[in-house]
Structure 1
Amino acid sequence: MDPLASLRDAEPTPFWLDSPEKPHAATALVGATSCDLLVVGGGYTGLWTALVAKERNPNLDVVLVEAEEAGGAASGRNGGFVEASLTHGLQNGITRWPEEMGLLERLGRENLQAMEDTLVRHGIDCDWERTGSLAVATEPHQVEWLKEEEEAVARYGGSSEYLDADAVRAEIDSPTFLAGLWNKHDVAMVNPARLAWGLRAACLALGVRLHENTPALSLDEHGHTVTVRTPYGSVAARKVALATNAYPSLLRRHRPYTIPIYDYALMTEPLSEEQLAAVGWKNRQGFADMNNHFHYVRLSADDRILWGGYDAIYHYNGKVRAEHDQRPETFATLAKHFFTTFPQLEGVRFSHTWGGAIDMSTRFCVFFDTSHRGKVAYAAGFTGLGVGATRFGAEVMLDLLDGARTERTQLELVRRKPLPFPPEPVRSVGIGITQWSMTRADHNQGRRNLWLRTLDSLGLGFDS
């Protein structure tokens, strides 16, 4: 089957958001109001911040403003991998915070469990499955990487199971799989849109005042309050949490620390019993391969396969625009790779194609800052494994706004920001060289050239 034919009838919209469960938008803010805490941004970071703030203090008056609709951006269109890791994977964390990794791993596992407990407490049904995930080797040199990763996981208090070629194909059958490492406990699968909508409903039930289609235009300090202006009104707050992530921060000095990277995904039609049996996959783990240009893959609740990743696209000057959400050349590449991985699924069609912007930082994970004498806190840069870390980010922002000295706020990860991205045109040129070098490494047994090794030594990187 021609891979392009499999895309012929696909809807150009995120599968998760294409649902009758999508809530009606809350009214836009009109006029002036005031509150104790204003949250700017209605993705996971903002929703968790509002929810945790109300759980900590039910009497706190919390307002949340969202430029479009809650969960409509990255939070409603990602792959739905909820990782315990706060550092975009163990190896990235070891490289950057070796002395803190034991603590960071523990805090990450506690955070994942706290997420699960919150979903139960508020009755949020979002297809949460604690299945774990597989890292799979598709090239011979990657097999040794998996064995080294197994040792590192054990060293920092985790558990994983190495699978040889026969064992990994007994879990998920692909002729491209040479080995796997199964993290059984520290990853959950979730319907990302239903998670966002569930958090939204929980916030409303606790009394959060939500205004959608209300972009924040400016932020100014006035004595003991900070005022955020919107198109038809304003909010004066004692404290403000900024959770705009891939979108430009209201604080101009924060903007060089993140760039929007576009990531893309396909979703198949539901698999028949025979098609699913041909793949196996009885334990329903998500998986990702070990390449620089990697794929991430998982089953939905109705047995569709989400197939995403590989291309990570940056647009000059970091523009976030709706027209970037569709990229036919990437969808064609993804479809070709899908059938190479699962030739037994020839004839399967894709029902949805979509993309969206991710907020990437040079260290691949969240960073924090405060301003206006501690009345404003900021969290961004989660990159591609940030679904679980958004709750941790919310806790840190609230700690910072309270001026609290906690285990979280004392982390070097929290106290130090990453290196900023250079201005254009140097930024685009550097990203282009980095992408070329990563592709070359994937075709050269993972060997990193001088450019990549230099970036490694400087603590700079590019990923999705």
Structure 2
Amino acid sequence: MGDLPTRADVVIVGGGFTGLWTAYYLLAAEPALDVLVLEAEHVGFGASGRNGGWVSALWPVGPEALARKAGRDAAAAMVTALQDTVVEVGRVTAAEHIDCGFHRGGTVALARSSAQAERARAEVAHSDAWGMGTSWLNAAEARERLAATNVHGATFNPHCARVHPRRLVDGLARTVRGLGAEVVEGARVTAIEPGLVRVDTGDGSERNVLARHVIRATEAWTARLPGERRTTAPVYSLMVATEPLRPEQWDEIGLADAEVFSDHRHVIIYGQRTVDDRLAFGGRGAPYHFGSRIRPEFDHEAAVFADLRKTLTGLLPQLGGVEFTHAWGGPLGIARDWNPSVGLDPATGLGWAGGYVGDGVAATNLAGRTLADLVLERHTPLTALPWVGHHSRRWEPEPLRWLGVNAGLRVAAAADREEARTGRPARLGHALSLLTGH
């Protein structure tokens, strides 16, 4: 840890996408602000540097759920804001010369069974009602995009781009430093309080840093802060990547427009064609660890890595004989109601954002712009969005949290097995909705 200032106008705890986007938009609006970003490890150490690189308008809570609380107009505004955010990320990366491979090729989600096709067509109808832009591709059109096995069709949504996430987070850090922010790595915050943060100096003592505003941007690591153990559940997602593929291999596979891809199974999978022509592929399936523990060894689950490689080669048998060269993982943050949130308490100066459920590459940008408006006391369309000021209920105490989260993972896998057996949408899907709370 380098020299630590004793005060700042705004202290941001967390050097990932949320913290860096917030610093960027604050300084773009008010260059004279003294902005300090504190990161326990290195910038992008958490999900920001390890994710699947989807800059998408996806949201873990459907617009109907938002409309029930805030009204249809507010829900529709959220849909539009997320779509605009994809464009905004591309605008900033171009303007700031951040070489992260941003390319807006959309999302292809394959339907690989009759049950998946039924759910996919329902998703298209739902999209039409909300202007979300999802369309149906027949089997031939889907295979033209991605030549996978057992393709019945696919949904396509244009509101998504591919990025190299670590290049994006490093580029953002470089940019905000250039704008005047101080980014201190190796600064482990032990407590957040109104007007100050406490930082472990590494020698057994702590140092206070004073600030008018303190922003918590710690995502999965929120569970490590005092009093926040039940705010966010850290759930692991793991990834694998192939060696670079030859042009003729890509001709067989597809993804000619760098579309990101998934399918309509219940256990989430996601992939992309990387900037150096690898296939990077990830999914859920790693267990939630008792007590919201986060440990380096949890980033590596050999059985999950093996299942991901098997799933990808089953999806794309063209990869037979291709070497898998990388495997990694890390935790993402999930609020109890699956609803991300952003906010600022004007009485205390404490702000927060997070609980993105793995959809944060774009949402963090929206959060950064919103937090900048809140800190600067600007009333804008962003500060009126329905996730602003939302407070999720707390997760259950252990062992109920461990039982519930891991039950959800098992039910999702069981629902996929049920559909493979019956060819119909799983009855277990309703049980999964009850467990996830939406």
Deviation per residue, 1:158-203 (Å, 9 max, x gap): 433311112211211112322111112x100000000001100100
CA distance in 1, matches of 2:351, 2:367: 10
Match of 1:236 among 167, 188, 210: 210
Q: 2:109 aligns with which of 132, 135, 144?
A: 135
Take 2:407 and 2:271, find their aligned partners in 1: how far apart are those partners? 27
**1:236-278 deviation per Cα after TM superposition (whole angstroms, max 9, x unaligned):** 1111111011103686444312111111111000111222222
Cα offset for 1:392? 1.0
TM-score scaled to structure 1, two decimals?
0.86
CA contact (8 A) 1:438 1:448 kept: no
Q: What amino acid sits opposite 1:218 in the alignment?
A: A
Aligned to 2:422: none
- Size of the aligned set, in residue pairs, is 425
Contact kept in structure 2, 1:366 and 1:393, CA below 8 Å: no
Which amino acid in 1 is paired with 2:17? Y
Q: Secondary structure at the match of 1:134?
A: strand
Query: Aligned Cα RMSD in Å?
Result: 2.2
Question: What do the CA deviations read for 1:16-48 (whole angstroms, capped 9, x no partner)?
Answer: xxxxxxxxxxxx244552111111100000010
Secondary structure at 1:217 match in 2: strand
Change (3 A) 1:346 1:406: same
> What displacement does 1:139 show?
1.7
Assess if the C-alpha contact under 8 Å between 1:97 and 1:413 holds in 2.
no
Structure 1: which 5+ residue stretches go unaligned? 1-27
**Which residue number corresponds to residue 150 of structure 1?**
124
SS in 1 for 2:208: strand
Distance in 2 (CA, whole Å) between partners of 1:159 and 1:211 is 41
Identify the match of residue 94 of structure 1 among 64, 78, 83: 64
Distance 1:372 1:106 in 2: 27
| 1:452 partnered with 2:431 | yes
Equivalent residue for 1:49, pick from 22, 30, 38: 22
Structure 1 residue 419 corresponds to structure 2 residue 393: yes
CA spacing shift, 1:277–1:411, aligned 2, 3 Å: closer
1:52-95 residue CA offsets vs partner (Å, 9 max, x unmatched): 1100101111111100000122111100000123x23xx73333
> Equivalent of 2:319, from 336, 341, 345?
345
Which of 141, 159, 168 is residue 142 of structure 2 equivalent to?
168
8 Å Cα contact 2:36-2:182 kept in structure 1: yes
Q: Distance in 2 between matches of 1:344 and 1:263?
A: 25
Alpha-carbon separation, structure 2, partners of 1:105 and 1:248: 27
Distance 1:330 1:191 in 2: 23
Deviations 1:298-330 (A, max 9, x none): 101121101110414211111111111111011
- Show structure 2 runs of 5+ residues with no match: 420-424
What are the superposed Cα offsets for residues 347-381 of structure 1, whole Å, 9 maximum, x if unpaired?
Answer: 00101011111111233342134458231101120
Is 1:214 aligned with 2:184? no
Deviation at 1:103, TM superposition (A): 0.8
Indicate whether 1:267 and 2:241 are aligned. Answer: yes
Cα distance in structure 1, aligned partners of 2:353 and 2:94: 26
Other structure's SS at 2:238 match: strand
Task: Give a deviation string over 1:382-417, Cα, whole Å, max 9, x none.
Answer: 111111000111222233334443323333322322
Conserved 8 A contact 2:339-2:392? no
The residue identity in structure 2 corresponding to 1:418 is: S
Question: What amino acid is the match of 1:50?
Answer: A
Shift of residue 97, structure 1, vs aligned partner: 3.1
Contact 1:441–1:447 (CA<8 Å) still a contact in 2?
Answer: yes
Identity percentage of aligned residues: 29
